């Protein structure tokens, strides 16, 4: 969820220098949750205005020589979450929510990465959605119903199993137990209404 401070930053007018590169600026599209780089495109002033108006990413297609809204044919639109300008005011970074695969090949990213290195942030959002829209079949919902004490106990159990796997079992077992531990910790964080971002900021402050 976007903070009040982030919203204020995003409301600040962005001044883009369209005087270079025949009126085009490069635009990096980044997943707003996982921060994975999804694609690179170009905008002219008109594309930028339309993107701001519709809250969907519109590029200027150099091959088609016209404005092109990402997803206009496939339905895989890019919903704008925040926009950022670089120090020279001639390159844009847009954090977006993709509605389906971003690449025309069907891949989530045009850069063909093997896996999402920031999947924990996506998993955090999945857990959050399970809380917001509970279903009887959901394992997260069953944990939620048991309350914070039981969830915390489950994290403790998974931590013990992870330690045992590290000392006595195979690397595959250790990876599986570590995955279980992280998943249940995400549920506990959700129960306590604490985000991974807060944990990351705290770790960063300790590093400094």
Domain boundaries, the chain: 25-98, 119-207
CB-CB contact of 34 with 116 (8 Å): yes
What is the pLDDT, as a whole number, of residue 115? 67
Distance CA 145, CA 141 (A): 6
Q: Residue 117 corresponds to which tokens in the numbers above?
A: 């290195």
What is the pLDDT, as a whole number, of residue 27? 98
What is the pLDDT, as a whole number, of residue 2? 46
Distance CA 133, CA 130 (A): 5
CB-CB contact of 108 with 101 (8 Å): yes
List the pLDDT tens digit at each of the 208 positions of the chain: 444 444 444 456 789 999 988 899 999 999 988 888 999 999 999 999 999 999 999 999 999 999 999 999 999 999 999 999 999 999 999 999 999 999 988 888 998 766 666 788 889 989 999 999 999 999 999 999 999 999 999 999 999 999 999 999 999 999 999 999 999 999 999 999 999 989 989 998 998 7
Which CATH architecture is the domain 119-207 placed in? Orthogonal Bundle (1.10)
* Neighbouring-strand partners of residue 28: 40, 93
The torsion of the CA quartet 163, 119, 202, 83, rounded to 10 degrees, works out to: 180
This prediction has a pTM of 0.65
Distance CA 78, CA 2 (A): 17
What is the pLDDT, as a whole number, of residue 177? 98
Q: Tell whether the torsion through CA atoms of 159, 160, 161 and 164 is positive or negative.
A: positive
The CATH code for residues 25-98 is 3.10.20.810
């Amino acid at each position: 969820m976007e903070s009040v401070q982030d919203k204020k930053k995003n409301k600040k007018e962005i001044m883009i220098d369209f005087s270079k590169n025949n009126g085009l600026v490069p635009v990096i599209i980044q997943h707003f949750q996982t921060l994975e780089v999804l694609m690179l495109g170009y905008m002219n002033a008109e594309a930028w205005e339309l993107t701001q108006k519709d809250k969907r990413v519109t590029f200027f297609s150099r091959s088609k020589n016209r404005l092109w809204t990402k997803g206009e044919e496939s339905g895989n639109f890019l919903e704008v979450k925040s926009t950022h300008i670089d120090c020279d005011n001639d390159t844009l970074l847009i954090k977006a929510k993709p509605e389906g695969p971003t690449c025309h090949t069907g891949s989530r990213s045009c850069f063909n990465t093997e896996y999402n290195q920031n999947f924990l942030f996506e998993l955090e959002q999945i857990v959050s959605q399970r809380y917001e829209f509970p279903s009887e079949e959901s394992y997260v919902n069953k944990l939620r119903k048991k309350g914070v004490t039981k969830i915390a106990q489950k994290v403790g159990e998974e931590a013990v199993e992870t330690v045992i796997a590290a000392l006595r079992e195979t690397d595959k077992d250790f990876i599986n137990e570590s995955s279980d531990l992280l998943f249940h910790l995400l549920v506990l964080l959700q129960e306590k209404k604490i985000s991974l971002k807060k944990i990351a900021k705290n770790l960063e402050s300790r590093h400094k």
